[in-house]
Amino acid sequence: MESVIKNCIKEAIKTLYNSDAEDELIQIQETRKDFRGDFTLVVFPLLRFSKNTPEQTGKDIGSYLSEKLPAVTGFNVIKGFLNLEISDRWWMEYFRTTAGEEDLFSYCRVEHPETILVEYSSPNTNKPLHLGHIRNNLLGYSLFRILSSCGHNVYKTNIVNDRGIHICKSMLAWQKYSNGETPQSTGMKGDHFVGKYYVTFEREYKAQIEELAQQGTGEAEARNSAPLMQEARDMLVKWEAGDKEIVDLWRMMNSWVYEGFEETYRMLGVDFDKIYYESETYKTGKEIVLSALRDKILYSHNDNSIWADLTAEGLDHKVLQRSDGTAVYITQDLGTAVARHKDYGFEKTIYVVGNEQNYHFQVLRVLMKKLGYEWADGLIHFSYGMVELPDGKMKSREGTTVDADDLIKEMKETARDVSMELGKLSGFSEEEKADIFRKIGLGALKYYILKVDPHKNMTFNPVESIDFNGNTGPFIQYTYARIGSVYRKAGEMGIEPDISQLMSTRPGQKEIDLIKLLRRFPVTVREAAAAYSPAMIANYCYELSKEYNQFYHDFSILGEENMALRNFRLILSGLTSRVLSSGMWLLGIEMPERM
């Protein structure tokens, strides 16, 4: 309809003002809720043609549209905004067409699709995934689905940070304090097992710092000269030199972690098209750095460390290789970006990384441009806020994080408790109940995290997330299940919906309003893709669920005596169900058929 209106407005300007208006001057948007109308034209850009007041220009164009377009049944002008009212018959025709559409995402496709990589997860192999990783994974996976639904060629990638001083800390602690225990001998999940030794290192390291401080050593010097830190640095140098004993230890401990990660990813319902490893890509990064040094793009200090001078670009000096020859974090980012561009030839790579790394990604993009990679403009940092618990921040090194596995288990148990308390699952088998508890628990977790503007910090409250009546995943899931129950009862009554009979119905305003909200789905998906915001999808699903539940409360569906109206309401319920299912799918949320 927007394109039809836009073309008619161009005709109006030509007829009324003998002028040709560029497309970008014709701004059409949905009418705000507090005004009467369906579509709104912003009149101000067109005053150059009318040479008249905004109010009179709006009236002239509104009259022209009312005469030329049968679907426009009325208009009003408020302070330079022309609000157009569209006929119920047009909305019904739209509903009939959409209800018969198999692929609801067909309306979301962009004209010029791009090849886009989405990087998410990016775990370290010295600890298990935690609550912060959950937000990262859920955002990345949802972005993949949203962008794909708009027709882009999207690939899910992960970079595993499997080398560096933090990895050596866990390795060294296991060497010194484990007495040879393994995940198998302890019964611990591999990533949790290795994470235990990361915490052990920090505890022993802190004790050494305190001991040195008591001997009169300053804090900074104590942190730098503590024996454990010196040993960890020596281990990193040996690893980069290919020392067999160190490399074998590294491989063994990483294998334990990878098994743990895979189990968590399966429970969370995310996956990847390709996983890159820092232990591989940092080599390419070092080659790039050394080549740029030879070309005098970079410079070295007297201690042989290598730096980039980015002051001309408004940034700082950045170290790219330490004096002992070991690589820093940004070195592997250089190598990974080059490897990915070689593999995929992407237009964009979206890095799903927390906002504490904002400066890092500024440096990466500027540095790569400085090194001659023109495609670096397509490196986009999707900067999201931190997630906290009601009692404050989490710290991995102190062992105060909320493990992803523990949280997933807690969410399933909370879903069980709430569902049993409400008495909603009588007559279900234990297997059916377990599957529903899983879907409700994970749906609650995912929705609660994804409904928040990704750029904002958030506090996650597990109990609040499983409220069947609030802005939660279970509320939307229950709406979907409610519609499923209506359709099952219709089947038992022998009632079959018939789309061909829709146009014989005269719906009420509440039903038209629900159709209008359903029409916003593809628009919302496109806007969410452009803004990289799963929150827009989440909150749309909540709004649609609220609107449908009000409709369900106010109108009879299967009890309606008018067969045409009953048929219409059943099909309206069915399309609502499909839109909710599609929207929640974009968030990675499964919908239970019964609750």
Structure-token match 């827009």, residue found: 536
> How many of the other CB atoms lie within 10 Å of CB of 380?
17
Question: What pTM did the predictor assign?
Answer: 0.89
Task: State residue 467's pLDDT score.
Answer: 81
Q: Assign 558 to helix, strand or coil.
A: coil
Residues 309 and 581: their CA atoms lie apart, in Å, by 51
Contact criterion met (CB below 8 Å) for 505 and 497: no
What pLDDT, in 10s, does the model give residues 432-453? 899 999 999 999 999 999 999 9
Contact criterion met (CB below 8 Å) for 354 and 132: yes
Phi/psi of residue 529, nearest 5 degrees: -65, -40
Query: CA of 330: how far to CAs of 238, 335, 359, 381, 567, in Å?
Result: 21, 9, 11, 14, 61
**Mean local confidence (pLDDT), 67-80:** 92
Whether the per-residue pLDDT at 119 is higher than 60: the answer is: yes
Structure tokens at 51: 């040479």
**Mean local confidence (pLDDT), 83-94:** 92
What pLDDT, in 10s, does the model give residues 52-70? 999 999 999 999 999 999 9
**Mean local confidence (pLDDT), 186-214:** 95
**Mean local confidence (pLDDT), 363-384:** 96
Name which of 474, 470, 480 is nearest 414 in CA terms. Answer: 474
Whether the per-residue pLDDT at 527 is higher than 60: the answer is: yes
Name which of 427, 445, 434 is nearest 269 in CA terms. Answer: 445
The b/e string for 96-132 (b: 16+ C-beta within 10 A; e otherwise) is: bebbeeeebbeebeeeeeeebbbbbbbbbbbbbbbbb
What pLDDT, in 10s, does the model give residues 257-279? 999 999 999 999 999 999 999 99
Structure tokens at 387: 């997630």
* Domains of the chain, earliest start first: 2-86 (3.30.1360.70), 120-398 (3.40.50.620), 404-586 (1.10.730.10)
Phi/psi of residue 71, nearest 5 degrees: -70, -20
Who wins on pLDDT, 465 or 306?
A: 306
Question: What pLDDT band is residue 391 in, cutting at 50, 70 and 90?
Answer: low
Task: State residue 401's pLDDT score.
Answer: 67
Task: State residue 460's pLDDT score.
Answer: 85
Residues 354 and 365: their CA atoms lie apart, in Å, by 16
Question: What pLDDT band is residue 363 in, cutting at 50, 70 and 90?
Answer: very high
Complete DSSP assignment for 48-107: HHH-S-HHHHHHHHHHHHHHH-TTEEEEEEETTEEEEEE-HHHHHHHHHHHHT-S-GGGG
Q: What residues contact 517, with CB distance under 8 A and at least 6 apart?
A: 543, 544, 547
Task: State residue 586's pLDDT score.
Answer: 98
What pLDDT, in 10s, does the model give residues 545-556? 999 999 999 999
Task: State residue 394's pLDDT score.
Answer: 41
Name which of 9, 130, 152 is nearest 526 in CA terms. Answer: 152
What pLDDT, in 10s, does the model give residues 538-583? 999 999 999 999 999 999 999 998 999 999 999 999 999 999 999 9
Whether the per-residue pLDDT at 396 is higher than 50: the answer is: no
| DSSP 3-state percent helix, strand, coil across the chain (nearest 5) | 60, 10, 25
The H-assigned helical ranges of 241-300 are 244-268, 278-294
